[in-house]
Structure formats: C-alpha cells, structure tokens
Amino acid sequence: MDHDAPVIYDANVLFPFHVGHILVFMASRRLVVAKWTTEIQQEWLDNIAEKYPDDLEGCRSRCRAMNKAVQDAFVTNYQHLMSAIDFPDQNDRHVIAAALHANARGIVTRDKTHFTAKSLKPFNLARIDPDDLLVECHERFPDDCLQTLELARRALTKTRPNLEEYLETLDHCKLTEFVRRVRTRSPKPE
C-alpha cells in the first residue's frame, strides 16, 4: 500500500469534533495527505444542522479553518465520474468519485455498512478506520505525530485538557489503539 497516496476523509470522521480535529491536524502537518470535497463538508454540516443546530455556525467556522489549514485538500471536478459509479448506497457515489479523481488509496470512514472491502474492491480503494490511520501516522512519524498531538491538544482553548484528559477523550472517540501507542511513548503527566 502506498502510504503517501491521498486518502479521502468521509463526513462521518469530520462530524465528531475530536476525531475530525486530530485528523485535520495530522493533515495540516503533512503526516497524511487528506482530501475532501465541498459535498463531504456539506454532508457533515447538514448532520450538525439537524442534530445540533446551535453549533452550526461554529462548525462552519471549523470548515473554514480546516480549509485554510490544508489548502490543497479540496477535490474538484470529480462529479462527471459519478454517473458511471455503481455503488450499494448511491448517496456515497460522490465520495467514491472524489477518491478516484484524487488517486486516493482509500476512504477514512467509520461506515462499515456501505464501505465494505467487497464494495470498494472494484475501485481499488480501501476502507480505513480513523484509528488505523492515526496508528499508521504514529508508526511512520512517531516524533512528528506526538508533536502534532500536542499541538492539537493545545489548540483546544475552551476546554484546555491536560495530556491524559485529551487521551481519555480520544479513547472515548474510539481511537483506542492510537491512544495506547501514544501512552507507551509519552511522558507520564505530572
């Protein structure tokens, strides 16, 4: 697998704040080549609008910040591929089309129902769990990964968690293996 090839961040990994936060930080530091589309961003904003309408403006600001942090993340001009894509969930064709257009190696998603190995095989794409992607970043760039984790933690100016509190939050977000590996390399909190 070409670990330097791009990956597409699906809406469901951008929607939970802490998962999206750490993934965007990893991309902004070039530990992963992340891609997304306006349609993917709109999908998670629609979920926010439906479930947490009071948070919508903050999430729009978050979209602007992530686009500024990873300026080459946008995939455009992929829509023409959608009509030729046969996929179990037709609403996910835009994600497949963007991945194909970006020459991505896979889609970072928590959706195990639609993005199965079988459904992705014809497109030569893999489903990548965000925990697995972060573990991969940690294995390939251990020091940079820990520095990025610390930058992401310090950017949380409202909650100001210490390292252990932040790791607990990430563990709660099902980034368990990544947290386990970080704990083995990080100094114990004071």
Q: Where are the domains of the chain?
A: 1-190
Q: Residue 81 in contact with residue 101, Cβ under 8 Å?
A: yes
Single-letter code of the amino acid located at 121: K
Cβ count within 10 A of residue 92? 20
pLDDT at 190: 43
Rg (CA), the chain: 16
188, pLDDT greater than 60 = no
Dihedral sign (CA 73, 92, 15, 44): positive
Write out the two tokens for 142: 């251990």
Task: Give residue-wise pLDDT tens across range 2-54.
Answer: 678 999 999 999 988 999 999 999 999 999 999 999 999 999 899 888 888 88
Q: Residue 74 has what DSSP assignment?
A: B
Dihedral sign (CA 187, 138, 64, 39): negative
Mean pLDDT of 70-86: 95
Residue 108 β-bridge partners: 9, 128
CA distance 68 to 49: 22
Single-letter code of the amino acid located at 170: L
Residues 6+ apart with CB under 8 A from 159: none
Model's pTM, two decimal places?
A: 0.93
Task: Give residue-wise pLDDT tens across range 82-115.
Answer: 999 999 889 999 999 999 999 999 999 999 999 9
pLDDT at 59: 86
Residues 6+ apart with CB under 8 A from 43: 11
Place of tokens 């970006």: 102
Q: What percent of the chain has pLDDT over 90?
A: 79
